[in-house]
Amino acid sequence: MTPSNELSAEKIGQIALMHSMVSQLPTADSILSFSIQGLKQLPGVRTVNNLPPETVLNDNTSNVHFAISHRQQVYALFEFILSDPSAFSPYHPYVENFCAVLALIFEERRQRTEKQNLMATLEQRVAERTQALQQEIQERKHAENELRRSEGNLRITLDSIGDAVIATDTEGKVTRMNPVAETLTGWPQSEASGLPLTTVFNIINAATRQTIDNPVDRVLITGQVVGLKNHTVLLHRNGSEYQIADSAAPIRSDDGTIQGVVLVFRDITEEYAIHEQLKRSEKMSAVGQLAGGIAHDFNNQLTGILGYADILIEELTDPTLRDFAKDIRKAAQRSAELTAQLLAFGRKGKYHAHPIDPHEIIADTIKILERSIDKRIRIECNLSPEKTMVMGDSSQLQNAILNIALNARDAMPNGGTLRFQTSSVQLDERFCNSHKIDEIPPGDYIEISISDTGDGMNQETQKHIFEPFFTTKEIGKGTGMGLAGAYGTMRSHHGAIAVHSKPGHGTVMRLYLPRIHMEYISTEKTSRPTVGHAAILLVDDEDLVRKTAEKMLCKLGHKVITCTGGHDAIKFYKQSGAQIDLVILDMIMPDLNGKETAQALSSINPQVRILISSGYSQNDEAGELDKLGIQGFISKPFSLTKLSNSIANALETPKIHRL
Q: Sorting pLDDT into bands at 50, 70 and 90, what band is 560?
A: very high
The DSSP 8-state label assigned to residue 138 in this structure reads: H
Residue ranges of domains in the chain: 9-116, 161-267, 354-517, 524-657
CB atoms within 10 A of CB 496: 22
HSE at residue 659, side-chain half, CA atoms within 13 A, is 0
Q: Of 239-253, 302-316, 347-361, where does mean pLDDT reach its minimum?
A: 347-361
How far, in Å, are 62, 519, 528, 648, 654 from residue 645 at the CA level?
145, 11, 9, 5, 16
Say which residue, 61 or 539, is predicted with more confidence: 539
Q: How far apart are CA 318 and CA 327, in angstroms?
A: 14
| Helix-, strand-, coil-residue percentages of the chain, each rounded to 5 | 45, 20, 30
Q: Sorting pLDDT into bands at 50, 70 and 90, what band is 48?
A: very high
Q: Of 121-125, 274-278, 349-353, where does mean pLDDT reach its minimum?
A: 349-353
Residue 653 contacts residue 607 (beta carbons within 8 Å): no
- Write down the mean pLDDT value for the chain: 81
Average pLDDT of span 320-348: 70
Residue 481 burial class via C-beta count within 10 angstroms: exposed 0-12, middle 13-18, buried 19 and up:
middle
Provide the pLDDT for residue 527.
56
**Which CATH superfamily includes the segment(s) 9-116?**
GAF domain (3.30.450.40)
Angle at 245 between CA 243 and CA 251, to 5 degrees: 135
Q: Sorting pLDDT into bands at 50, 70 and 90, what band is 600?
A: very high
Express as a percent the part of the chain with pLDDT over 70. Answer: 82
Query: Is 50 exceeded by the pLDDT of residue 104?
Result: yes
Query: Is 70 exceeded by the pLDDT of residue 611?
Result: yes
Q: Sorting pLDDT into bands at 50, 70 and 90, what band is 247?
A: confident
Query: Is 90 exceeded by the pLDDT of residue 582?
Result: yes
Tens-digit pLDDT profile for residues 114-157: 898 988 988 898 888 888 888 888 888 887 777 667 544 444 56
Query: Is 60 exceeded by the pLDDT of residue 368?
Result: yes
Say which residue, 599 or 155, is predicted with more confidence: 599
Closest CA to 446 of 392, 367, 399: 392
Express as a percent the part of the chain with pLDDT over 90. Answer: 14
Query: Is 60 exceeded by the pLDDT of residue 465?
Result: yes
Residue 124 burial class via C-beta count within 10 angstroms: exposed 0-12, middle 13-18, buried 19 and up:
exposed
> Which CATH class, in words, describes the domain spanning 524-657?
alpha beta
HSE at residue 207, side-chain half, CA atoms within 13 A, is 3
Query: Is 80 exceeded by the pLDDT of residue 174?
Result: yes
Angle at 53 between CA 48 and CA 57, to 5 degrees: 70
Q: Where are the beta strands (DSSP E) in 91-182?
A: 164-168, 174-177
Provide the pLDDT for residue 524.
42
Tens-digit pLDDT profile for residues 547-556: 999 999 998 9
Provide the pLDDT for residue 616.
61
Provide the pLDDT for residue 296.
67
Q: Sorting pLDDT into bands at 50, 70 and 90, what band is 437?
A: low
CATH fold for the domain made of 354-517: Heat Shock Protein 90 (3.30.565)
Q: Of 227-236, 242-251, 618-627, where does mean pLDDT reach its minimum?
A: 618-627
485 phi and psi angles, rounded to 5 deg: -65, -40
Helices (H) and strands (E) in the chain, counts: 20, 22
Provide the pLDDT for residue 654.
64
What length is written for the chain? 659
Q: Would 9-116 and 161-267 be classified into the same CATH topology?
A: yes
Crossing angle for the helix pair 640-652 and 269-315, to the nearest 10 degrees: 100
Distance of CA 369 to the CA centre of its chain: 30
Provide the pLDDT for residue 347.
44
**The pairing of beta strand 610-614 with beta strand 632-635:** parallel
Average pLDDT of span 626-636: 74
Query: Is 60 exceeded by the pLDDT of residue 10?
Result: yes
Query: Is 80 exceeded by the pLDDT of residue 282?
Result: no
Q: Who contacts 212 (Cβ-Cβ below 8 Å, separation ≥6)?
A: 203, 204, 205, 228, 229, 232
Angle at 594 between CA 611 and CA 574, to 5 degrees: 80
Query: Is 80 exceeded by the pLDDT of residue 626?
Result: no
CB atoms within 10 A of CB 409: 19
Provide the pLDDT for residue 526.
46
How far, in Å, are 17, 369, 379, 509, 570 from residue 418 at the CA level?
91, 10, 5, 11, 53
Residue 444 contacts residue 424 (beta carbons within 8 Å): yes
Residue 509 contacts residue 483 (beta carbons within 8 Å): no
The DSSP 8-state label assigned to residue 474 in this structure reads: P
Is pTM beyond 0.85? Reply is: no
Angle at 117 between CA 112 and CA 120, to 5 degrees: 125
Tens-digit pLDDT profile for residues 57-80: 776 667 888 888 888 888 888 889
CATH number, domain 161-267: 3.30.450.20
Query: Is 50 exceeded by the pLDDT of residue 349?
Result: no
Query: Is 60 exceeded by the pLDDT of residue 54?
Result: yes
Q: Sorting pLDDT into bands at 50, 70 and 90, what band is 479?
A: low
Q: How far apart are CA 342 and CA 290, in angstroms?
A: 10
3-state secondary structure 64-114: EEEEEEECCEEEEEEEEEECCHHHHHHHHHHHHHHHHHHHHHHHHHHHHHH
